[in-house]
Amino acid sequence: MIGMCLFRDLSMRELVATLDLALPGTRGVRVAPSSIVQARERLGEEPLRWLFERTAETWAHASARTHAWRGLAVYGADGTTVRVPDSSENRQHFGGQDGRWDSTSGYPLVRVVTLMALRSHVLAGARFGPYGTDERVYAAALWPLVPDRSVVLVDRLFLAAKTLLGIERGGTERHWVTRARSTSKWTRTKRLGAGDELVEMTVSSEARRQDPSLPQTWPMRAIRYRRRGFAPQTVLTSLVDAKRYPAAEIIALYHERWEIELGYNEVKRVMLAREETTRSKSPRGVAQELWGLALAYNLARPGVIEGEAGRRVIVRLALFGAAATPAYMALGKLSWGWWPLNVMALFLVAAVVLRLVVQGGTTRRAMAAIVFVVAGSVVEFWWFGLGTIGAAWRYCKAPTWQNAALLTAAVATLGLVNGNQWALAALPVAAVIARIKARIPRTGRFFYWFYPLHLSAILVLTIIPITFTS
């Protein structure tokens, strides 16, 4: 099933040949394509759903904790649609979008709602079914998957007491952030700061009739802001503690909601190659295929299985930095024989600092500042090198002209160490290379091995006497 999702342009016969499938214990007897079709029908959707949900629970929550915001794991929930083959079964079960003059969409549509760990794009859960069912119904089935000490970012379609109180009531410190509608009304109960206040929203009598457990008034926090070139907006949230959760950071956090749209784009544009129609002509086959697609998507996320890519980078930098140290010390005229530590140690410190910054929270950010100041004094290029790496990281996350200027200024500070400004020449070269389309094999550990080996080679060349004869 995963192969069907990854090789959608292949027929079943070509797929079986590509995957080189063979029966276990038959000494390489190949599998007939027809047997795969029959086996798929016998398998059904439940095994794939079980496998996706078990792996997603582990991978998504681990990655969300690794990239927490002020101690809260960050999730997003949103809906999308997927086209399915226009068979009578699919049309009857899933339905489609109604158009003018009693017309319907050209293909049956499946409505899909997912819960995603936003900072790693790993899916934590999914629900799908007929197009005519409201997104909020599918989302409510996902709320039990939200762990304690987390925050869920949703769009304003989800702004309803029945929907969002389902997040708050389901555990400890489960929060939400959304955007107010133009018709939203509330009463201010306390002013927290400029454009920041505690408010109460009245729950409609109809909502309380459908769910008697809902309160008459619903307390929340409203933060008004305006970005240059855009109309004023208001963010509503259950994060009511202004000291613990500053307004400016909540505004920035809410805009991470778009990460789930990028995740959907990865599925539709990359995995489905804009051919957003599944293969299956029956609802049961569609469900099986969608669970397989969700599993394949999570498997394709870089480093999601371990959920500790940052930790692995830190360990590798430490090991290869230590391996490079003997040659580095033998070559360099270092103070006290070891100071400063080599460039691998610089990257190691930078990785630790950035990891703490990404995890967020007052304590971790304070730790990041301490590591920056203290460890920056013992590594090559000192604080200037750490600042340059941080500026480059910031630019890669948001390539704006402001961040480009920050990166240029940071690289210029390296001149204080190098005694010249040749480092600035790397910036236009990197900009040009980034625009060249070329197929270059990617070797993830090349730099790790290159640094200690090239130092060792240089050391050998300095030891071995070389004479030139005419």
Among 8-12, 79-83, 329-333, whose mean pLDDT is lowest? Answer: 8-12
- Asked whether residue 308 carries a pLDDT value surpassing 60, the answer given is no
Most confident option among 184-193, 307-316, 420-429: 184-193
Per-residue pLDDT band at 314 (split at 50, 70, 90): confident
Most confident option among 9-23, 271-285, 371-385, 422-436: 371-385
CA separation for the pair 418, 414 (Å, rounded): 6
- Asked whether residue 305 carries a pLDDT value surpassing 60, the answer given is no
Give residue 181's pLDDT. 93
Q: Look at 281 and 176; give whichever has higher pLDDT.
A: 176
Confirm or reject CATH 3.90.350 for domain 46-300, answering yes or no.
Answer: yes
Q: Look at 239 and 1; give whichever has higher pLDDT.
A: 239
Q: Is the peptide bond before 340 cis (omega within 30 degrees of 0)?
A: yes
Judge whether 146 and 152 are in contact, CB under 8 Å. Answer: yes
Q: What is the CA radius of gyration of the chain?
A: 27
Instruction: Compute CA distances 196 → 191, 242, 243, 388, whole Å.
Output: 6, 9, 12, 35
Among 24-28, 85-89, 116-120, whose mean pLDDT is lowest? Answer: 24-28
DSSP string for residues in 85-147: ---HHHHHHH---B-GGG-B-SS-EEEEEEEEETTTTEEEEEEEEETTS-HHHHHHTTGGGPP
Per-residue pLDDT band at 319 (split at 50, 70, 90): very high
Task: Find, among 151, 152, 228, 222, the residue nearest to 184 by Cα.
Answer: 222
- Asked whether residue 390 carries a pLDDT value surpassing 60, the answer given is yes
Task: Find, among 89, 115, 358, the residue nearest to 367 by Cα.
Answer: 358
Q: Where in the chain are the domains?
A: 2-43, 46-300, 309-463
Give residue 279's pLDDT. 78
Give residue 306's pLDDT. 47
- Asked whether residue 415 carries a pLDDT value surpassing 80, the answer given is yes
Per-residue pLDDT band at 307 (split at 50, 70, 90): very low
Kindly report the average pLDDT of the chain as a whole number: 86
Give the mean pLDDT of 370-387: 94
pLDDT digits (tens, 9 = 90+) for 129-140: 999 999 999 999
- Asked whether residue 442 carries a pLDDT value surpassing 60, the answer given is no
229 phi, psi to nearest 5 deg: 90, 0
Task: Find, among 434, 435, 417, 415, the residue nearest to 425 by Cα.
Answer: 415
CA separation for the pair 259, 115 (Å, rounded): 12
pLDDT digits (tens, 9 = 90+) for 194-221: 999 999 999 999 999 999 999 999 999 9
Give the mean pLDDT of 7-14: 70
Q: Look at 57 and 36; give whichever has higher pLDDT.
A: 57
Per-residue pLDDT band at 375 (split at 50, 70, 90): very high
Q: Look at 320 and 470; give whichever has higher pLDDT.
A: 320
Q: What angle, 0 to 180 degrees and rounded to 10, lies between the N-to-C axes of helices 401-413 and 426-434?
A: 140
Give residue 388's pLDDT. 95
Please report, rounded to a whole number, the percentage of residues in the chain having pLDDT higher than 70. 85
Give residue 363's pLDDT. 84
Q: Look at 197 and 418; give whichever has higher pLDDT.
A: 197
CA separation for the pair 433, 436 (Å, rounded): 5
pLDDT digits (tens, 9 = 90+) for 12-56: 777 766 666 666 665 656 667 667 767 777 778 899 999 999 999
> What dihedral do alpha carbons 291, 294, 299, 303 form, nearest 10°?
-140
CA separation for the pair 127, 52 (Å, rounded): 12
- Asked whether residue 323 carries a pLDDT value surpassing 50, the answer given is yes
SS3 of the chain: helix, strand, coil, percent, to 5: 50, 15, 30
Most confident option among 11-15, 108-112, 415-419: 108-112
CA separation for the pair 126, 291 (Å, rounded): 8
pLDDT digits (tens, 9 = 90+) for 453-463: 988 998 888 88
